[in-house]
Structure 1
């Protein structure tokens, strides 16, 4: 059962207060050997570093003080730390400090980077790997819901990989996470993954967030893993692909989908209809995917004589999906 929102907020507030007292300024290079930059986001960077005292390799999440507040930093760290006991959520080391310009906390290192790096444009990733990823991401989302929280930025970029076959993957980046029931008054997350209700936010009411927002993004993420494409660019009425999906959902026939949904097998189209229900009150839980493990998720790809990299349509799709992900990153808050 999900935690009471008031109780969750109270726990987070106590944890933020506790960690605030431990936040001291240090010289980062006295304690860590910076090896290389791993990534960059709207408020800072992530570095691979070796802890000088223990020799342990860690990921340092470094947030620029000019672009994030002390409160926001402590809130993200606290949520990350609270959730890090789950095997499919990134481990959060209990090391936080400030430098002259930055706030810093440490996380376990994911040796293979994020899941997006595994996706082959127009192809996706192998079916057995997609299924493993879907189960693990679903488990993480269920845990987040049970803790009374919403991630609000679910996508392959925010899932870290620990082995090539994805037997171990972990959700990361809780910079946008909110307590369930928190009212937001502006859109957040990356465009292709935003649930349609995000665009219905109107002042002064706003939108009370809940786990259905993460389930929608999860559904889109699975589509991307299966196909190597986005089903749409945005969930707006003027997006033709999204409009076709809405019409199909209202008049659902498993064997007569719009073009984008011919890319997934007949056996799992109903799964997507449930995960991506336009009416958020009818949207399934993320565990819906478990009902479809016996189905075929990817059609066999016929062999081609030509090199797919040299195929012009393949190259077009490659640059299109890269452009979409870059555009999404520009709308992303945090690292």
Structure 2
């Protein structure tokens, strides 16, 4: 386990240096058969490919060379490789290269992501959500133990390897940061951001203190993910005071013992509300660790008996 911020920095710098020495420019079409595009993002895309030499199928993450630097690419590749030994983090093959227009690295091939399982009107079954909770929590605890923070936990970044979610894996470490460092700006997806991030602006005098990177910010995102897996919706667009649904949640959290939960939350049993209150504690110093969801596995999350 990395013992300090400096330890993690040195490990990643070493991995980046090693990877840079072997980063060759190749012709993608000559070396791989492109089967299909799996996804698109702001900085690139993910392809399903088959290696022409080995016939192995894999996922290639491509980053546009006009939108990212070689160092940023190598850092993302190194973080992914550094964490890939955990069973709930996407496996990396250690293969990185560049083409004339992109950087690329190879990862194991999933069948989809959590979003692909969610229908417009139905959330996932309780047993499936519990399996997801256990595995996501395990991955977050491992990432934290290695001195990193993911900072962009959402269903699109949680890959599935079977439709019942017996095996899911976190992916996409492009926005991840070293724990205890300062983020240069707000990082992540708005609807999953903790209030201490979403409520600051670039001109806020408390910006640097608010954006100190810690795993407690990711726990909030974890809570939003679990809520969405059940309800197929966000509890609010952004955790800011001007958002009415968030303000109702805030008032309830401040008077938890004395008032009834607002309507979006009243669908959950009291024990599950207690779990969410820990994951989504407004005061980040009181926010639970992700592993504390394990204490609620024997409870009824939707009023039925569950076998994991």
With normalisation by structure 2, the TM-score equals: 0.94
Other-structure match for 2:143: 144
Matched residues, number: 299
Q: Give me the whole-angstrom Cα distance separating, in 2, the residues matched to 1:50 and 1:186.
A: 38
The alpha carbon displacement at 1:89 in A equals: 0.2
The alpha carbon displacement at 1:120 in A equals: 2.6
Q: Give me the whole-angstrom Cα distance separating, in 1, the residues matched to 2:258 and 2:34.
A: 52
SS, match of residue 208 in structure 2 = coil
Of stretches 41-50 and 260-269 in structure 1, the one that deviates more from structure 2 is 260-269
Other-structure match for 1:79: 79
Compare relative contact order (CA 8 Å, sep 6+) and give the higher one, 1 or 2: 1
Matches within 5 A, 1:6-25: 6-25=6-25
Instruction: Return the match for 2:254 from 235, 250, 256.
Output: 250
8 Å contact from structure 1 (residues 23, 98) kept in 2: yes
After superposition, the Cα gap between the structure-2 partners of 1:178 and 1:81, relative to the gap in structure 1 and judged at 3 Å, is same
Other-structure match for 1:221: 225
Other-structure match for 2:286: 282
Matches within 5 A, 1:245-324: 245-253=249-257, 256-299=260-303
SS, match of residue 223 in structure 2 = helix
After superposition, the Cα gap between the structure-2 partners of 1:241 and 1:276, relative to the gap in structure 1 and judged at 3 Å, is same
SS, match of residue 289 in structure 1 = helix
Matched, 1:181 2:161: no
After superposition, the Cα gap between the structure-2 partners of 1:97 and 1:160, relative to the gap in structure 1 and judged at 3 Å, is same
SS, match of residue 25 in structure 2 = coil
After superposition, the Cα gap between the structure-2 partners of 1:256 and 1:228, relative to the gap in structure 1 and judged at 3 Å, is same
Matches within 5 A, 1:58-207: 58-111=58-111, 113-198=112-197, 199-200=199-200, 202=204, 205=208, 207=211
Cα-to-partner distance string for 1:305-333 (whole Å, 9 max, x where unaligned)? xxxxxxxxxxxxxxxxxxxxxxxxxxxxx
Other-structure match for 2:52: 52
Structure 1 unaligned residues grouped into runs of 5+: 301-335
After superposition, the Cα gap between the structure-2 partners of 1:121 and 1:254, relative to the gap in structure 1 and judged at 3 Å, is farther
8 Å contact from structure 2 (residues 252, 259) kept in 1: no
The alpha carbon displacement at 1:255 in A equals: 7.5
The alpha carbon displacement at 1:219 in A equals: 0.5
The alpha carbon displacement at 1:38 in A equals: 0.4
CA RMSD of aligned residues (A): 1.5
The alpha carbon displacement at 1:123 in A equals: 2.6
Other-structure match for 1:317: none
After superposition, the Cα gap between the structure-2 partners of 1:253 and 1:118, relative to the gap in structure 1 and judged at 3 Å, is farther
After superposition, the Cα gap between the structure-2 partners of 1:2 and 1:95, relative to the gap in structure 1 and judged at 3 Å, is closer
8 Å contact from structure 2 (residues 147, 179) kept in 1: yes
Of stretches 254-263 and 77-86 in structure 1, the one that deviates more from structure 2 is 254-263
Q: Give me the whole-angstrom Cα distance separating, in 2, the residues matched to 1:211 and 1:226.
A: 23
8 Å contact from structure 1 (residues 226, 264) kept in 2: no
Structure 2 unaligned residues grouped into runs of 5+: none
With normalisation by structure 1, the TM-score equals: 0.86
After superposition, the Cα gap between the structure-2 partners of 1:230 and 1:259, relative to the gap in structure 1 and judged at 3 Å, is same
